[in-house]
Structure 1
Amino acid sequence: MTAVTAAPPARAVRPRHLAGTGTLLRLALRRDRMMIPAWVLALGLSVSGMGASFEAVYDTAAQRAGLAASMNHNGSMRALYGPVFSDSVGGLVAWRMAGFGAVLAAVMSLLIVVRHTREEEETGRQELLSAAVVGRRAPLTAALLTALLANALLAALIAGGSALSGRPAAGSLALGLALGGTGTLFAALAAVAAQLTESARLAKGLTGAVLGLAFAVRAAGDAATDGAGSPLTWASPVGWSENLRPYAGERWWVLLLFLAATALAALAAYALTARRDLGMSFLPARPGPAVAPRSLSGPLGLAWRLQRTTLLGWTAGFLGVGALFGGIAKGAADLVGDNQQTREIVERMGGQQGLAEAFLATMTGLLGMVAALYAAGAVLRLRGEETGERAEPVLAGAVSRLRWAGSHLALAYGGTVVILASGGLALGLTYGLSVDDPGGQLGPVLTAALSQVPAVWTLTGLAVLVYGLFPKATPAVWALVGGCLALGWLGPSLKFPAWAMNLSPYSHLPKLPGADATAAPFLWLPALAVLFAAVGLVGVRRRDVG
């Protein structure tokens, strides 16, 4: 007989955790071949071209110096934009964009990372990819590299465009790195949120809440001091962006804060992804009752169950922001001297009915523009239900497409009213308390906040139209909303032409409180919103689902 010798045990092979990263990176770049260039070009060219607008509006050094002095001596304006560190053209560009641009770069980054991590797991595509030779950390690495590349392109475009416009190269590079560094940091924070949460929507909401808190903390710190030296400002990544001080004696060491925070967040994300199963999360959904409540017997109850956390989070956020800015609104009239330039800026943004009321009108307008982000997300939840293959089981029963879509749209339209009412309530109440007239101020400010509803509904209807007729183009909805936000935030102070401002529905609303209001925009804007939504719902009814 022939002896059979047992084979020696196979040596354990260390898994290739990063295997397939290059392939996933190419796939992510291909999928984002429209979204990333749109974000980078829109934001980068806006920053690079803003210097020409400042040169046209404030064409003398004396005017720019007067603007800088006025802004630095006004707590309300510092809360909005931060302090001015230099009255040069480059310094004014950095003043306007170091905070606002950093927020937009962060939004771009969190959308990229969540899309290629948690969203891939939620839809089941990552499980199919992981069945091949794909390392455990490869999807996260590819997502972070995609966001890093987008932010590097943004920084390069800002630095190169600003330098070619004649501004100092060092300041141009610092401004680009400030925005790119903030975006990269929030990409890493979004990676952490993607490990903690069970859904892409919740991951975006959690990272967005951190971003909103960072902006609010920065605003509170800048309102308290005139040199960005408040501990609150230093506690916020958005505050780091302005404290890098482009064009004003750059503080290059601030970049180490971005580097350290990004590294810590990325390491945390890698540690978390190694300790969970694919598709699982560290904050899983609580098990539901054995018997579904009666509220889930229809599509409206299901839509509420899916979107209630988001709506409650937005409501709490608007309450906090309204209280913050209501508390500093009184300072809008406390300007040093009688600077006509500052008055003109505030009046172009909020109307000519007095500085305090103009500031309140600016704040309610800002709440209205931000509310469109909630509404767009609520509408696009329909697309998420389709691509996640959760819509088909619902529609396979006795639920019609219009009833299913209408349930989510009810929360999009109704939720807009709720969050704007909460923001207006907090804004009016805190401002009224600061001027010892809560009863007299609450009503007008609340009305001003609710007056933004027609414009938000118009953009909501436009989102429904895009979703219904062009479902694969739904990411373009964010570009439309972001464009309106940029027009409202930058257009008045930089004197954008009337035809450009009129592209935004917000430009057609009266600047309440205090301004004379006509009924016309409150009639034709909702009518336009209904038309857009009707056309979109016709598309939903006729096209294939998924």
Structure 2
Amino acid sequence: MRDYAGTWTLLRLALRLDRVRASAWIIGIVLFTTASAQSNNDLYSTPEERQNLATTVETNPAMLALGGRAFDLTTTGGINAYQLVAFMATIIGLMSILMVVRHTRAEEESGRAELAGSAVLGRRAWLASSLLLVTGMNLVIALFLGLGLQSTDLPAEGSWCFALGCAGVGVFFAVVAGITAQLTEHTRSATGMASAVLGLAYLLRATGDAASASDDGPSWLTWLSPIGWAEMMRPYTDEDWVVGLLFVGSVAVLVPAVGVLIGRRDIGAGVLRPTLGPVEASTSLRSPLALAWRLQKGSMLGWGIGFVIVGAAFGGVADGMVDVAKDNPDIDELLRDLGGTGSIVDVFLATITSLIAVVVGAYAVQSALRLSGEESAHRVDPVLSTPVQRINWAGSHLTVAAVGSVVMLFAAGLAAGLAHGLNSGDVAGEVPRVLGAALAQVPAVWTLIGLCALLFGLLPRYTVVAWVALAFVLVIGQFGEVLKVDQAIINLSPFTHVPDMPSADFEAAPLLALALLAGVLVAVGLGGFRRRDVA
């Protein structure tokens, strides 16, 4: 047990450090899922509305891939399982990855684990405490999620099956993150590897669920995905609790594997040792912009692939929304509150485009705040000790974030336009419309980059405010009109001022104003960074 000495002390420390972060994850997940379930109960309150949805979804592979396996859409519980299990399980899995890597590999990379290890602290204490923390978070989510779903008048057994299935996915990916944290030396690589496994699980689930629309498709692929296991527990439809043993068995196998990996590496190192680079850098690395691109190109590629998949998925189901909303005035009204006027397909595309743009904003914030990460890790000092100017170094990372956000929106818009055009038989007409709607969101995304630059230059200790602003934009953009929030508050979001294309006409004035605002924020932020001390 010497390897686990100090585990409970580290667990208490983690709880103290992350009491706000962990609470935010738990509260956000529970409230969002419960509110979504209540909304679905209201939208599909009659047997006719539920039957119309079932008729549309059960034979539509794209909608099954996007939502999930549809076992019984004639009940509100079955509809909630179809729409929410796969999505929420993925979000919980991502939460688990981020939290485990934060308390394992990030602690080693910063040197704090080595310092703490000089005291009476076991070799496996960091990993054990992080897994206990994240497992506890998942169990708390399951508890409140089960109670929250029941509060919406959904059956108790199905609610607990839903909650425990999602928590099982979270625990599974916590262990996966524990493994990737042993394989690599860097936090970014550990998170990327674990996230790639999560993405693969989602794709296997989506492919298997899409294939369930036909009798001869490879629907068995769903069983290869932990997210699929949560679906196959069949919440609200003859619950199959035996499937939950897959989570128990897989975790029981993977946890000892983590222990083996810990014994095969040194503190601060990874099992997969990096190879030595060339003695002299290539000419492509002899500028701050080239360095910023080198550091961020992997992240950009991963995000880009994700947006292509998401764009194609939403574009593929756009035509199906006509059938869903045709006989359900509540859905029609909801979409028009979010996406403006016009045909229901254009309204749906406008709504989805704005949602994708906010997610692109998450990429932009992450990319722009790479500045803060480089500074806090003291990697900026050797760079600025050369003739590289501060403005050039910071501007290079902001340029990568700005160009990358355009690439993300272009990829998502092109994929959505192609998918929708192929379904409607008008590729040449639909691709420019949908692509234009996506690119119209660029100035709004750039304002978030401007905010990041402003905070980094003037208030470097409060760069987390950029993430708070992104969360505000997401909530206001998707629920502001529905919740009847005061228009003055809604107008604080830059995305509010982007025209609802393709259901509305293009307007240049608000986009130019947003681009100008973004430029001013970047200029002020760079000016502040030029004058302040480097941490």
TM-score bucket (shorter structure): 0.7 to 0.9
Question: Aligned in 2, Cα 1:508/1:390: closer, same or farther, shift over 3 Å?
Answer: same
* 1:282-431 alignment, distance < 5 Å: 282-326=271-315, 329=318, 331-332=320-321, 340=329, 343-344=332-333, 352-431=341-420
Matched with 1:269 is 258
Q: Which of 133, 148, 151 is matched with 1:161 structurally?
A: 148
* 1:75-154 alignment, distance < 5 Å: 75-82=61-68, 83=70, 85=72, 87-154=74-141
Q: How many residue pairs were aligned? A: 530
1:491, 1:501 within 8 Å by CA — same for their partners in 2? no
1:73, 1:336 within 8 Å by CA — same for their partners in 2? no
Matched with 2:186 is 199
Question: Could you tell me which amino acid in structure 2 is paired with residue 152 of structure 1?
Answer: L
1:162, 1:172 within 8 Å by CA — same for their partners in 2? yes
1:148, 1:184 within 8 Å by CA — same for their partners in 2? yes
For structure 1, list consecutive stretches of 5 or more residues without a partner in the other structure: 1-14
Question: Could you tell me which amino acid in structure 2 is paired with residue 35 of structure 1?
Answer: R
Distance 2:520 2:47 in 1: 49
Question: Could you tell me which amino acid in structure 2 is paired with residue 268 of structure 1?
Answer: A
Deviation of 1:495 after TM superposition, in Å, equals 3.2
Secondary structure of the residue that 1:249 maps to in structure 2? coil
1:464, 1:536 within 8 Å by CA — same for their partners in 2? yes
Question: Aligned in 2, Cα 1:182/1:534: closer, same or farther, shift over 3 Å?
Answer: farther
1:68, 1:84 within 8 Å by CA — same for their partners in 2? no
Matched with 2:12 is 26
Matched with 1:43 is 29
Deviation of 1:420 after TM superposition, in Å, equals 2.1
* 1:225-236 alignment, distance < 5 Å: 225=212, 230-236=219-225
1:161-208 CA-to-partner distances (Å, cap 9, x unmatched) read 333454433233222223322222222222222222332112222222
Secondary structure of the residue that 1:34 maps to in structure 2? helix
Deviation of 1:108 after TM superposition, in Å, equals 1.6
Question: Could you tell me which amino acid in structure 1 is paired with residue 208 of structure 2?
Answer: G
Work out the percentage of aligned pairs sharing the same amino acid. 45
Deviation of 1:340 after TM superposition, in Å, equals 4.7
1:375, 1:416 within 8 Å by CA — same for their partners in 2? yes
Question: Could you tell me which amino acid in structure 2 is paired with residue 141 of structure 1?
Answer: A
Question: Aligned in 2, Cα 1:215/1:410: closer, same or farther, shift over 3 Å?
Answer: same
Distance 2:444 2:65 in 1: 25
Question: Aligned in 2, Cα 1:363/1:419: closer, same or farther, shift over 3 Å?
Answer: same
Question: Could you tell me which amino acid in structure 2 is paired with residue 34 of structure 1?
Answer: V
1:433-471 CA-to-partner distances (Å, cap 9, x unmatched) read 455544333322322222222232223333334444544
Deviation of 1:306 after TM superposition, in Å, equals 1.4
1:243 maps to 2:232: yes
Deviation of 1:40 after TM superposition, in Å, equals 0.9
Distance 2:315 2:36 in 1: 29
Question: Aligned in 2, Cα 1:360/1:49: closer, same or farther, shift over 3 Å?
Answer: closer
Distance 2:524 2:25 in 1: 28
Question: Aligned in 2, Cα 1:479/1:149: closer, same or farther, shift over 3 Å?
Answer: farther
1:206-256 CA-to-partner distances (Å, cap 9, x unmatched) read 222333333333334334435999323333333333333333332222322
304-313 vs 52-61, which moves further: 52-61
For normalisation by structure 1, the TM-score amounts to 0.85
Secondary structure of the residue that 2:19 maps to in structure 1? coil
Question: Aligned in 2, Cα 1:172/1:545: closer, same or farther, shift over 3 Å?
Answer: farther
Distance 1:470 1:123 in 2: 22
1:476-513 CA-to-partner distances (Å, cap 9, x unmatched) read 5445434544665x639x93335476564434433333
Q: Which of 433, 442, 449 is matched with 1:444 structurally?
A: 433
Question: Aligned in 2, Cα 1:293/1:171: closer, same or farther, shift over 3 Å?
Answer: same
Question: Aligned in 2, Cα 1:86/1:323: closer, same or farther, shift over 3 Å?
Answer: closer
Question: Aligned in 2, Cα 1:430/1:169: closer, same or farther, shift over 3 Å?
Answer: closer
Deviation of 1:50 after TM superposition, in Å, equals 3.8
Question: Aligned in 2, Cα 1:105/1:469: closer, same or farther, shift over 3 Å?
Answer: farther
Distance 2:154 2:312 in 1: 39
Question: Could you tell me which amino acid in structure 1 is paired with residue 129 of structure 2?
Answer: A
Matched with 2:483 is 496
Deviation of 1:19 after TM superposition, in Å, equals 1.8
Q: Which of 194, 202, 211 is matched with 2:198 structurally?
A: 211
1:67, 1:341 within 8 Å by CA — same for their partners in 2? no
Q: Which of 243, 260, 274 is matched with 2:249 structurally?
A: 260
Question: Aligned in 2, Cα 1:191/1:482: closer, same or farther, shift over 3 Å?
Answer: farther
| C-alpha RMSD over aligned residues | 3.4
Question: Aligned in 2, Cα 1:322/1:391: closer, same or farther, shift over 3 Å?
Answer: same
Question: Could you tell me which amino acid in structure 1 is paired with residue 233 of structure 2?
Answer: L
Distance 2:413 2:18 in 1: 37
Question: Aligned in 2, Cα 1:477/1:210: closer, same or farther, shift over 3 Å?
Answer: farther
1:339-387 CA-to-partner distances (Å, cap 9, x unmatched) read 5555555555555544544454454334323222221221222222122
Matched with 1:459 is 448
Question: Aligned in 2, Cα 1:435/1:159: closer, same or farther, shift over 3 Å?
Answer: closer
Question: Could you tell me which amino acid in structure 2 is paired with residue 31 of structure 1?
Answer: L
1:220, 1:324 within 8 Å by CA — same for their partners in 2? no
For normalisation by structure 2, the TM-score amounts to 0.86
1:74, 1:335 within 8 Å by CA — same for their partners in 2? no
Secondary structure of the residue that 1:412 maps to in structure 2? helix
Matched with 1:3 is none
1:70, 1:335 within 8 Å by CA — same for their partners in 2? yes
Q: Which of 169, 176, 192 is matched with 1:182 structurally?
A: 169
Question: Could you tell me which amino acid in structure 2 is paired with residue 85 of structure 1?
Answer: D
